[in-house]
Amino acid sequence: MSEVRTARPPADPRERLARQFFHMVNPLARWMMSVGIPTGSRNVLLTVRGRRSGMPRTTPVSMLELEGRRFVQASYSEDGWVRNLRAAGQATVTDHGRRIAVQTLELPPDAAAAIIRRALAPYHRSRLLRALLGPRVRPPVAVLRWIRLRVDDTPEEYVAEAQRHPLFELQPIREAAT
């Protein structure tokens, strides 16, 4: 029997274009990162076991490091890696050739909003970026921090952003010394 799926609101044309662009670019980014070629912002490879296939799936994602903690945020609300990460609860992060096993914790929207706001607080607001992207399309917080921009003003907007784009904390799995 098939699982029940909730209906999604119709995608913004800008979001569809961005998804198509990243669908084409991600294989190249994955290859570049695996051989150590810099790709810009703080990008890492996130490998998660598929929730249905059980096969490892690797996706390039932007990682936010804030106050000694590491986070990844979904560019789109229900990407495959997000559903896989929710199901698995752990992943492997490959950063400049180093592989780190991590446990993941999806933050509730209120906590995620506070982290996003704290990460972007020092930077200026961009009305131009907001006008170009529209009300629903946002780069992950790590990308906005890298380019030193924020687009949201009120706490409610940050919570709405965190609801649309889940934020996960990555905590290294410490193996017991033998």
Asked, for residue 9, whether it belongs to a domain, the answer is: no
The separation between CA 136 and the C-alpha centre of its own chain, rounded to angstroms, equals 15
| Single pTM value for the model | 0.78
> Domain range for residue 129?
24-172
Q: What is the pLDDT of residue 178?
A: 34
The separation between CA 105 and the C-alpha centre of its own chain, rounded to angstroms, equals 13
Instruction: Report whether pLDDT(45) > 70.
Output: yes
> In degrees, to the nearest 5, what angle opens at C-alpha 10 toward C-alphas 130 and 8?
110
Q: Using CB atoms within 10 A of its CB, is residue 64 exposed (0-12), middle (13-18) or buried (19+)?
A: buried
Task: Grade residue 12 by pLDDT with cuts at 50, 70 and 90.
Answer: low
Asked, for residue 75, whether it belongs to a domain, the answer is: yes
Instruction: Report whether pLDDT(11) > 50.
Output: yes
CA distance 19 to 76: 8
Number of structural domains the chain divides into = 1
Q: How many other C-beta atoms can be found within 10 angstroms of the C-beta atom of residue 98?
A: 8
Give the CATH number for residue 31. Answer: 2.30.110.10
Task: Grade residue 116 by pLDDT with cuts at 50, 70 and 90.
Answer: very high
